């Protein structure tokens, strides 16, 4: 029934568009709060230059998925949304998204769009999502505190031992100053910043196609020991244990944390909101050498059956222009078009180059049950990281998480 | 005979009047009935209907009969959540009454500043649960909140203590917050009950030589049965449906030990997108809640010979 109504509405819109004059249309677009810095600016720029308009709603990170699902069920979904890229497979599998394969492939710059995004935006060889914003995980350190602690402020840690040693030296400054920070009760934060430590050392937590959980590895064990040892030495503020992500960025921005794994978004946010903090950006290192990164960000997806497809396409095309990519880069996202990334970044903070490089070689897990496995505050991943970083029974926690994750994967609807 | 014939025409008239009265009565309650139908009966019917389907948040749904209910039987995490909810309900209800009853006795009689006390104790009840949870979430924060940093700065503890990191302190923090928030409301209900007890009964008992404890046990408590029933049902029903405080302050943590039944329903519906299964869980919870309320009403029913 709803489908029928949607089709009728579509038919009416097509007829209306064919007969009437090209009246300005307004498309409704949602973005999660992570995009609240760049999204309003790019929408403003688009609205100023076009007759068609975009109306933007910013939704809290944790609410956007259930809210969109409820809106879609009630027929009030936005025309498009900027969706955390890891959700694209499950949304596409649910039949919620418009197939934009033909349009995507007709774009002259299609081949240079971020590969990690396009991979997660593809479901059964059809394209349902295209890159919008990009964020790579990196390690940031506070240069002022490094200098005070007698460390070289221009050289960030390049392996696990250096992370622990540098954090300990900064921590020794005492007072409010702590060596290291991470959000110890936030699954999303840690898939973003903790798993690259494992990847860089040659391990992984999921098999390539997402059909097997592979938590029982020496690389995961080693990375856990790194965090545990820092917790044990009191290098991490007590609040980390219960931080569900609220302080993921804020803790470092307060200026009394030596080292923190973070994302490229932090560069834009620190530069615009905390210009006093002097910080460096480096890769998330492997145990002895090497590095890796989580290629994150948002895919732009279109709600199935929307009548505003032309507006949505026009907006996305604008976002992919040099002007659009420059606005994105200036306000906290990495460019998603490889061929003009250098131009978009050229007048900006050179630290973006590190993040852009991390993005280009970044990795993104692929799973249709990512939310249940990883991001859910009550899912196995979140529970495990909290237990292994702060609890007593590391082996039990890993075994338990491995079993729960595998059973969630096995019970997922096979489509 | 004449009596009968004289009487026979009367009933139709009265019946007519009565039935017209009934129709007018129905008209008066119609808005309320419409509200109940639109906002309670129809959603309830829809929930029951959805619970018989595999109904994802997005995409097509399919009829699976009692499949969801069979799955509930095997869902150990739901039963664990239910067990925790029961534990929480018992503890928090006792805690609320232990605080609210003395408060009610204290503010019942007019004395200097009574109105001020009543307002003060009642004030937290007008704050929504979500806002109260956000407030306490900050108060309980170990780095930037009040309790732990204050204790540290006053030298009471030599290392900041994270109240929300382990089960016991986290659980009792929630209990404290709920008591702070709800006790004032229960106090008002109990106070109204206390004030409805006729003063002369108490005076007669005093003349008969009954002490304050005997008066409380033999007069106050029995005459407050219905008030107590109301307060108890409100408290138990509210506690079984607890969600906001555990979601906002604890996120079901530490380590998923404070997942309540409603939290689990929320997770199944809006995190795992299984709306049909969530609806089935809701129906189970509804049955439990109705059964509990009936038991309470029966336990606190009007005793024989008492008005």
Long-range (24+ apart) CB contacts under 8 A made by B112-118 are B118/B188, B118/B191
Contact residues of B toward A, CB < 8 A: 56-60, 141-144, 159-162, 164-165, 251-256, 259, 263, 267, 270-273, 275
A83 plus A122 within the same structural domain:
yes
Q: Which two tokens stand for residue A383?
A: 């529970």
The interface predicted TM-score of the complex, written ipTM, equals 0.71
Q: Which two tokens stand for residue A205?
A: 């937590």
Alpha carbons A226 and A284: distance in angstroms, whole number: 13
Element (H, E) at B167: helix B167-195
* Burial class for A116, CB neighbours closer than 10 Å (0-12, 13-18, 19+): buried
The verdict on a CB contact (< 8 Å) between B58 and A91 is yes
> Would you state the pLDDT for residue A52?
93
A28 plus A171 within the same structural domain:
no
Residues 6+ apart with CB under 8 A from A115: none
pLDDT for residue B1 is more than 60: no
Residue identified by tokens 């075994």 is: A399
The structural domain count of chain A equals 2
A145 plus A62 within the same structural domain:
no
Alpha carbons A372 and B270: distance in angstroms, whole number: 10
A91 plus A18 within the same structural domain:
yes
Query: Over the stretch A327-357, which tens digit does the pLDDT of each residue have?
Result: 988 887 889 998 888 888 888 888 888 998 8
- Å from B290 to nearest chain A CA? 28
A383 plus A260 within the same structural domain:
yes
A221 plus A344 within the same structural domain:
no
Tens of pLDDT along chain A (415 residues)? 455 555 554 444 444 444 434 578 899 999 998 888 889 999 999 999 999 999 999 998 878 888 888 888 788 899 999 988 888 888 888 888 999 999 999 999 999 898 889 988 998 899 999 999 999 999 999 999 999 999 999 999 999 999 999 999 999 998 889 999 999 999 999 999 999 999 999 999 998 888 899 999 999 999 999 999 999 999 999 889 988 888 899 899 999 999 999 998 898 888 888 999 999 999 999 999 999 999 999 999 999 989 999 999 999 999 999 999 999 888 878 899 988 888 888 888 888 889 988 988 888 888 888 888 998 888 899 999 999 999 989 999 999 999 999 988 887 765 4
Q: Enumerate the residues of chain B whose CB falls inside 8 A of the CB of residue A383.
A: 255-256
Among residues A322, A340, A360, the one where a domain terminates is A360
In the three-class reduction of DSSP (H, G, I as helix; E, B as strand; rest coil), residue B12 is classed as: helix
Residues 6+ apart with CB under 8 A from B90: none
Judge whether A196 and A190 are in contact, CB under 8 Å: no
Strands A178-180 vs A26-32: parallel, antiparallel or unpaired: unpaired
Restricting to A residues 65-84, those with a Cβ less than 8 Å away from any Cβ of B are 65-66, 69-70, 72-73
* Burial class for A207, CB neighbours closer than 10 Å (0-12, 13-18, 19+): middle
Q: What is the domain-level CATH number for residue A272?
A: 3.40.190.10
Which of A152, A150, A34, A18 lies closest to A83, judged by CA? A34
A271 plus A377 within the same structural domain:
yes
A29 plus A147 within the same structural domain:
no
Q: Enumerate the residues of chain A whose CB falls inside 8 A of the CB of residue B58.
A: 69, 72-73, 91, 94-96
Q: Which two tokens stand for residue A388?
A: 């292994």
Strands A257-263 vs A129-142: parallel, antiparallel or unpaired: antiparallel
A89 plus A170 within the same structural domain:
no
The β-bridge partners of B154 are none
A63 plus A151 within the same structural domain:
no
Domain of residue A335, residue span: 2-135+295-360
A206 plus A284 within the same structural domain:
yes
Helix, strand and coil percent figures for chain B, each rounded to 5: 75, 0, 25
The verdict on a CB contact (< 8 Å) between A376 and B60 is no
A86 plus A142 within the same structural domain:
no
Residues 6+ apart with CB under 8 A from A299: A82, A83, A84, A85, A88, A117, A120, A121, A129, A130, A131, A132
The β-bridge partners of A26 are A53
Query: Over the stretch B226-245, which tens digit does the pLDDT of each residue have?
Result: 898 889 999 999 999 999 99
- Termini Cα distance of chain B: 43
Query: Over the stretch A227-237, which tens digit does the pLDDT of each residue have?
Result: 999 999 999 99
């Amino acid at each position: 029934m709803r489908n029928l109504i949607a089709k009728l509405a579509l038919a009416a819109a097509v007829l209306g568009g064919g007969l009437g004059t090209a009246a300005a249309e307004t498309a409704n677009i949602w973005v999660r709060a992570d995009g609240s810095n760049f999204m309003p600016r790019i929408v403003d720029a688009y609205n100023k230059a076009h007759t068609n308009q975009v109306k933007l709603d910013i939704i809290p990170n944790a609410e956007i998925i259930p809210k969109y699902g409820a809106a879609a069920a009630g027929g009030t979904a936005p025309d498009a949304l900027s969706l955390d890229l890891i959700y694209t497979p499950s949304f596409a599998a649910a039949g919620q998204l418009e197939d934009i394969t033909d349009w995507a492939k007709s774009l002259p710059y299609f081949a240079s769009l971020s590969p990690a995004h396009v991979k997660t935006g593809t479901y059964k060889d059809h394209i349902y999502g295209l890159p919008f914003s990009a964020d790579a995980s990196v390690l940031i350190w506070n240069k002022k505190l490094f200098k005070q602690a007698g460390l070289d402020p221009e050289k960030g840690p390049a392996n696990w031992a250096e992370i622990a040693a540098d954090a300990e030296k900064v921590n020794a400054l005492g007072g409010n100053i702590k060596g290291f920070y991470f959000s110890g009760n936030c699954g999303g934060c840690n898939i973003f910043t903790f798993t690259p430590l494992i990847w860089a050392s040659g391990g992984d937590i999921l098999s390539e196609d997402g059909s097997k959980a592979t938590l029982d590895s020496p690389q995961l064990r080693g990375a856990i020991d790194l965090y545990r040892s820092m917790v044990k030495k009191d290098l991490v503020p007590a609040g980390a244990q219960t931080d569900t992500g609220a302080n993921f960025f804020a803790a470092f921005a307060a200026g009394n944390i030596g080292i923190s794994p973070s994302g490229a978004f932090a560069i834009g946010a620190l530069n615009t909101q905390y210009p006093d903090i002097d910080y460096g950006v480096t890769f998330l290192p492997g145990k002895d050498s090497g590095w890796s990164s989580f290629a994150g960000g948002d895919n732009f997806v279109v709600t199935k059956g929307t009548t505003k497809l032309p507006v949505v396409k026009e907006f996305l095309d604008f976002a992919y222009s040099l002007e659009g990519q420059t606005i994105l880069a200036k306000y906290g996202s990495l460019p998603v078009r490889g061929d003009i990334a250098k131009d978009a970044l050229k007048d900006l903070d050179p630290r973006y180059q590190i993040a852009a490089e991390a993005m280009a070689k970044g990795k993104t897990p692929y799973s249709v049950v990512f939310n249940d496995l990883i991001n859910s505050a009550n899912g196995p991943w979140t529970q495990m990281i909290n237990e292994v970083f702060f609890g007593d029974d590391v082996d039990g926690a890993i075994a338990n998480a491995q079993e729960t994750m595998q059973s969630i994967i096995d019970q997922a609807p096979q489509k | 005979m004449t009596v009968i014939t004289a009487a026979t025409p009367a009933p139709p008239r009265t019946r007519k009047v009565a039935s017209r009265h009934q129709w007018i009565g129905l008209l008066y309650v119609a808005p309320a009935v419409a509200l109940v139908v639109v906002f309670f009966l129809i959603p309830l019917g829809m929930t029951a209907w959805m619970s018989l389907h595999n109904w994802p948040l997005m995409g097509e749904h399919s009829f699976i009969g009692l499949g969801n209910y069979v799955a509930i039987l095997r869902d150990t995490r739901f039963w664990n959540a239910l067990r925790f909810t029961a534990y929480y309900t018992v503890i928090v209800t006792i805690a609320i009454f232990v605080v609210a009853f003395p408060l009610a006795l204290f503010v019942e009689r007019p004395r200097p500043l009574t109105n001020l006390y009543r307002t003060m104790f009642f004030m937290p009840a007008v704050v929504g649960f979500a806002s109260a949870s956000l407030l306490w979430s900050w108060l309980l924060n170990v780095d930037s909140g009040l309790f732990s940093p204050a204790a540290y700065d006053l030298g009471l503890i030599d290392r900041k203590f994270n109240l929300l990191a382990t089960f016991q302190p986290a659980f009792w923090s929630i209990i404290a917050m709920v008591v702070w928030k709800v006790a004032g409301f229960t106090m008002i209900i109990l106070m109204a009950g206390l004030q409805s007890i006729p003063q002369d009964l108490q005076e007669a008992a005093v003349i008969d030589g009954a002490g304050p404890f005997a008066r409380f046990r033999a007069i106050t408590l029995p005459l407050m049965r219905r008030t107590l029933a109301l307060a108890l049902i409100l408290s138990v029903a509210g506690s079984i449906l607890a969600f906001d405080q555990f979601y906002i302050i604890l996120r079901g943590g530490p380590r998923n030990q404070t997942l309540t039944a409603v939290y689990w329903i929320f997770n199944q519906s809006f995190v795992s997108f299984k709306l049909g299964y969530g609806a089935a869980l809701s129906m189970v919870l509804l049955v439990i809640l109705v059964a509990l309320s009936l038991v309470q009403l029966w336990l606190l029913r009007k005793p024989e010979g008492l008005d």
